[in-house]
Amino acid sequence: MDRFNKVADYAIIKPLFFDGMTLLFGGFGGVGTPPTLVDCLIESGVKDVHLIGNDAGFPWIGIGKFVCLKRAVSLIASHIGSNPIAGELMHDGALKVEFSPQGILNERVRSGGVGLNGFLTEIGKGTLLAENKPLVTIQGKEYLYESPLTGDLGIVYAKKADTFGNLVFDKTARNNNPLIAMAAKTTIAEVEEIVDMGELDPEEIIVPGAYINYVVPTRGINWKWIWEMQGK
Amino acid sequence: MGDARQIIANRAAQELETGMTVNLGIGIPSLIPNYLDPSTRVFFHSENGLLGFGPAPKVNPDWALSNAAGYPVSIVKGGSYFDSTTSFGMIRSGRIDLAILGSLQVSCNGDLANWIVPGKRVPGVGGAMELAYGAKRLIALMQHCEKNGQPKIVTTSTLPLTATRCVRRIITEMAVFDIDENGLTLAELMPGFTVADIRNHTEADFALSDKLNE
């Protein structure tokens, strides 16, 4: 593969998904979840997937479309409130859900992506989420140990990429994408616009291309707001 | 008279002061901007990576400019976008002056429960634990009692906690309470309610502020 031209098509991407993989996905309530890569994941037919991301999307948006197909076996997320089907699957035991406080989850992903071994925090102490987490005492004060998160594959959405994979984001569609982009063995970025190297202002690049393995052009966002889908 | 949620949001809007960085949770807190005095200038923070947002645009909402609840917003002058770790770094390190969260139960020592009703609702915790931990001041909003009449201001929470000893003020449609190291104090009565009404609908013991008598 040309390390300076990572632009790929979906025929190259689809075989990268595999049964039993751990998949990190970017996005917050579906905003910034790469829509064409989720469709590609669905078309790939893979199953028994372990998901890591902020939430379960909506049933019609983001990772929610995949979750509803019951092909994910576990999800580490901060909430699933926007996807009632994820709640039903969890309740029925078909989807194992581990909740992590939102910012702690992002730091766990970051920790995995930047070669660290986790961190200590007081967030969550004395709550259900502290169960099964090691307690560490330092200078008389107790902290929870939070482990790093990594995965086989990461999928992110960005506004623009150059052919090296340097990424520029789009307002609140940035959210956790820069963290997710760093944490997987292989990362695919779906973008609205692809430019030549040298065309992005180096100061505007949020994720350096060293973290990115493939760049694919989006086939469109097809966004639906909550109120457009209520009652459907 | 409006419904309880609107009454609570209207009262809570008075808690915002010019210059504050404020995070509003989903549910009742999200109604607060409708009641904010236009002369009060604050910066709203949203967990998804936005500081300084304003009302939804009238036309052409942009999927990439929305708040943490998934509704479109605008950005104000001086506003910024950032990634999720920066967003929560701001929360944990005390840069949020005021967080106002919806709540299921609050105990008299300020313990907050707002993320799970075991066996019924398990939406997940989102950013609530960190807001409860890191915001300089935390206000909990909720209707005073459950639909079945069960009080939600309690001696000891019966629900799994979000965080311990974090709530400093509770606003309901019946009353405003303050919480400090001495416990719970009834600070204000909402129109139409007496101290006796509050005693009858509050499980936890409370003191009366100097301004109130039985």
Say which CATH number the domain at A161 has.
3.40.1080.10
Q: What local confidence, expressed as pLDDT, does residue A232 receive?
A: 64
A138 falls within a domain: no
Q: Tell me, rounded to whole angstroms, the distance of Cα A14 from its chain centroid.
A: 17
Cα–Cα distance measured from residue A51 to residue A89, given in angstroms and rounded to the nearest whole number: 14
CB B23 within 8 A of CB B33: no
**Entry pTM:** 0.96
A201 falls within a domain: yes
pLDDT at B1 over 70: no
Contact: B49, A80; criterion CB under 8 Å: no
Q: Does B50 touch chain A (CB under 8 A)?
A: yes
Residue B7 per-residue DSSP state: H
A196 falls within a domain: yes
Contact: B49, A78; criterion CB under 8 Å: no
CB B95 within 8 A of CB B86: no
Q: What local confidence, expressed as pLDDT, does residue B121 receive?
A: 77
Contact: B70, A127; criterion CB under 8 Å: no
Q: Does B129 touch chain A (CB under 8 A)?
A: yes
Q: What local confidence, expressed as pLDDT, does residue B118 receive?
A: 87
Domains annotated on chain B, with CATH: 4-39+88-208 (3.40.1080.10)
A137 falls within a domain: no
Residues of A in contact with B63 (CB under 8 A): 31, 173, 221, 223
Q: Known catalytic residue: B47?
A: yes
Q: What local confidence, expressed as pLDDT, does residue B214 receive?
A: 81
- Of the residues B17, B47, B173, B203, which is catalytic? B47
- Of the residues A102, A116, A157, A192, the best mutation for testing chain B's interface (the one with the most B CB atoms within 10 Å of its CB) is A102
A214 falls within a domain: yes
Q: What local confidence, expressed as pLDDT, does residue A2 receive?
A: 87
* ipTM of the complex in this document: 0.96
Instruction: Give helix A102-113 / helix B84-92 axis angle, nearest 10°.
Output: 120
Residue A126 per-residue DSSP state: T
What is the tally of structural domains in chain A?
1
A127 falls within a domain: no
Q: What local confidence, expressed as pLDDT, does residue B75 receive?
A: 96
**Within chain A, which residues score under 70 in pLDDT?**
231-232
Residues of B in contact with A104 (CB under 8 A): 88, 129-130
Q: What local confidence, expressed as pLDDT, does residue B119 receive?
A: 82
Mean pLDDT, chain B, integer: 95
Domain containing A65 equals 10-114+149-219
Chain A closest CA to B213's CA: distance in Å? Answer: 37
Q: Tell me, rounded to whole angstroms, the distance of Cα B188 from its chain centroid.
A: 17
Structure tokens at B199: 């005693």
Residue A139 per-residue DSSP state: T
A33 falls within a domain: yes
For the beta sheet containing B169-171, the strands, ordered from the edge strand earlier in sequence to the opposite edge, are B74-81, B50-54, B43-46, B21-24, B98-102, B138-141, B169-171, B175-180, B183-189, B207-208
Element (H, E) at B113: strand B112-113
Residues of B in contact with A225 (CB under 8 A): 61, 70-72
pLDDT at B116 over 50: yes
Which of A90, A101, A177 minimises the CB distance to B129? A101
Q: What local confidence, expressed as pLDDT, does residue B100 receive?
A: 98
Q: Does B31 touch chain A (CB under 8 A)?
A: no
A155 falls within a domain: yes
Cα–Cα distance measured from residue B97 to residue B95, given in angstroms and rounded to the nearest whole number: 6
CB B170 within 8 A of CB B147: no
pLDDT at B63 over 60: yes
Q: What local confidence, expressed as pLDDT, does residue A1 receive?
A: 74
Contact: B122, A90; criterion CB under 8 Å: yes
pLDDT for B134-151, tens place per residue?
Answer: 999 999 999 999 999 999
Residues of A in contact with B89 (CB under 8 A): 103
Cα–Cα distance measured from residue A145 to residue A135, given in angstroms and rounded to the nearest whole number: 6
Q: Does B56 touch chain A (CB under 8 A)?
A: no
Which of A97, A110, A221 minimises the CB distance to B63? A221
Residues of A in contact with B61 (CB under 8 A): 225
Burial of B207 (0-12, 13-18, 19+ CB in 10 A): middle
- Of the residues A54, A175, A182, the best mutation for testing chain B's interface (the one with the most B CB atoms within 10 Å of its CB) is A175
Length of chain A: 232
